[in-house]
Structure 1
Amino acid sequence: MDQKKEWSISVPIFRNSVILKQLGIAIGIPFGAVIIFLIVATKEIKYLMYSLGLIALLFLLTYIYIMVIYKGAYEMEFVLDEKGILARTQAEQLKKNTRMNALTMLLGTLTGKPAAVGAGMLAQSRQQVYMKWGNVTSVKYKPNSNTILLKSGWTENIAIFCTDELYNEIREMVEHYTKVY
C-alpha cells in the first residue's frame, strides 16, 4: 500500500466532539480555576455576579468572533503517504491565523506579557504538523466524528478529520502504516 492521499476539510468548531473536548481542557481548566477562586474569595454577591458576568461576556464575544471571522469552522488540509501524515491549516485561514498570532505576540510584547507572546508563538508553530508513522505511539478511532487521533510522545498529536466518504479508507491506511512499525 504505497499511495498518497490528500484532502481538505472544513471542521465545525462548536459541533466537533474532539475540538470541544480540547477547548474544554484549554479553556475550562483555567477559567474554572478563576471562577472557583472568585466564588471563594468574593465577599459580596454583587461583585461575584459582576465578575461572572464579565467572564460570560468574554465567552460570548469570543464565540461571535469565531463565528464571524472563521465562519465557525477550522479549514484543514491533510497529506497522508507511506512516510507519515501532514496536517496543516488551509492557505486562507493560515493568513488570518498568522495575522492574529502576530498581533498577539506584538501586544504581549508591548504590554510586557510573556505568556501572550508565548501563546502567539505556540499557536503559529502548530499551523503545520508532520508526524512520521514510526513515531506514532497511540491511535484512537472516533467513527462518530470521523476523526482519528494520533499521538507521539507527550506533546505531539494530530487529529485527522475525515469526510464520511473518506473515513474508512483513511482508517485502513493508518492501520496499515502504524502496524508496519
Structure 2
Amino acid sequence: MNGKQVDKEGITFETRIPVFNNPLLWRQLLIVSLLSSGFVLVLLLGLNLFEDNWEQIPKSFLVWVVLAGGMFSAFTVILMLLFRGVVTRYTISEKGVVQATLTPYRKFAKKLPFLALLFGGKQGMTAAGAGMLAQSREVIFAPWKDISLVELYPSRMEIRLKNQWRTVIQIICLPENYREIAELAQKSVSIKPEKGPDSAFLQVVFTFLTLLLGIALFPRLPIHVPGAFVIPMMVFAFPAIWSTTKFRKISAAIILITLLAGVFLAFYFGEVDFSGEGALYAASIEFLSFAFFSALALRGIFLGKTAEKE
C-alpha cells in the first residue's frame, strides 16, 4: 500500500483515507444528519401551523436537534468501530481522476442499506464518505471538464476537486506526490468556465423550498395572506426558477408584486393578529417565507440571465 506508479495512463497510487483527521467527512456527516432528521421537523412544523399549536414550535425544533444529534452519534460510532480508514486507489491523468475503494468492509456495507441510501447512489459524493459508500460507490470518475475549483490543504496532503456547488472528489496524497498532483490539478482546471445559469441542483432546491414555504403560508398565520395571493406566488415561482427566457423576469416581477400586495392588504383590512399564544414563533416562519419569495423574485429580476438577446 502507499505505492506510487507513473505510466502513460497517469499517476496511480494507493493510500488510506483518514477518519479522525478529516474535516470534510465530519461536515458531511453533520449535514446528512440534519437533513435526514429535517423531514421530521417539516412534519412537526406543519402540524403546529395547521392545527394552530404555535406554542409547540420551539419543541419541534428541539426534537429535530435531539434526533439529528442521535443520528450523528450513531454514524460516528459506526465510523469509529468499522471504518478506521478506507484503503483507496487513485489514478490521476489528463482525462480526470478515478477513485477506487479497496476497503475490506465492502461486504459488511451490503448489510447497511440505510446508510448506503443516505450516503450513496448519486454522482458526485466525495471520497470522504467512501467507507460507508463502499457498496454503492466503489469507483468514482471525475473528468476535469466537470471541475471548476481546486482547493489545496498541504498540512493534510489533501486536494479537493469541486464543481460549482459541491466537492466531487477528495484526494488524499502521499508526501512524495502531493506537489505533482496539485500542479496537475490546477493546470487541468486553470481555465474556469464562465458562470452560467443556476445548476440543476440549485433549481431543485429552490423548487423544494417554493413548495415547502408556500404551503406554510396557507394556514391562518399572524399576518394572514389569502390563498388567492399565495397560489400565484407559487405558480410563477417555477418559471422564475427554471425558465431561461424573458418570462423568467416577468414571473419574478409578478411574485414580488403579488407578495407586496398580499401583505399590504393584510394590514389594510386588519388581517394581522399577534395576540395568539406562540404567534411570534409562527410569524418567524411566515417572515422566512416572505424573505424567500422576495429573494427569489429579486434574483430573477436583477440576476437572472436569459437565453434571448436584449
Q: TM-score range by the shorter chain?
A: 0.5 to 0.7
Q: 1:167 aligns with which of 170, 174, 178?
A: 178
The alpha carbon displacement at 1:165 in A equals 2.9
Equivalent position of 2:78 in the other structure: 65
1:104/1:117 contact within 8 Å kept: yes
SS at match of 1:179: coil
Cα distance change, pair 63–164 in 1 and its aligned pair in 2 (3 A):
same
Across the aligned residues of Structure 1 and Structure 2, the Cα RMSD in angstroms comes to 3.9
Cα distance change, pair 60–133 in 1 and its aligned pair in 2 (3 A):
closer
2:157/2:178 contact within 8 Å kept: yes
Q: TM-score, normalised by structure 2?
A: 0.42
Cα distance change, pair 100–142 in 1 and its aligned pair in 2 (3 A):
farther
Equivalent position of 1:76 in the other structure: 88
1:92 alignment partner AA? P
The structure that is strand-richer by fraction is: 1
Equivalent position of 1:87 in the other structure: 99
| Structure 1 Cα separation of the partners of residues 150 and 10 of structure 2 | 20
Larger radius of gyration: 2
| Structure 2 Cα separation of the partners of residues 166 and 29 of structure 1 | 37
Between 1:149-158 and 1:135-144, the stretch displaced more is 149-158
Cα distance change, pair 169–33 in 1 and its aligned pair in 2 (3 A):
same
Runs of 4 or more consecutive aligned structure 1 residues displaced over 6 Å after TM superposition: 32-35
SS at match of 2:89: strand
1:104/1:120 contact within 8 Å kept: no
Unaligned runs of 5+ in 1: 106-115
Give matches, 1:38-117, under 5 Å: 40-42=57-59, 52=66, 58-71=71-84, 73-97=85-109, 99-101=110-112, 103-104=113-114
Cα distance change, pair 136–75 in 1 and its aligned pair in 2 (3 A):
same
Cα distance change, pair 41–67 in 1 and its aligned pair in 2 (3 A):
same
CA displacement, residues 101-127 of structure 1 (integer Å, 9 cap, x when unaligned): 5x439xxxxxxxxxx857664455433
1:141/1:147 contact within 8 Å kept: yes
Q: 2:162 aligns with which of 147, 151, 168?
A: 151
The alpha carbon displacement at 1:25 in A equals 2.5
2:172 alignment partner AA? F
The alpha carbon displacement at 1:68 in A equals 1.8
1:17/1:145 contact within 8 Å kept: no
The alpha carbon displacement at 1:139 in A equals 1.4
The alpha carbon displacement at 1:2 in A equals 5.9
1:89 alignment partner AA? T
Given the alignment of the two structures, is residue 7 of structure 1 paired with residue 10 of structure 2, yes or no?
A: no
Query: What is the number of equivalent residue pairs in this alignment?
Result: 162
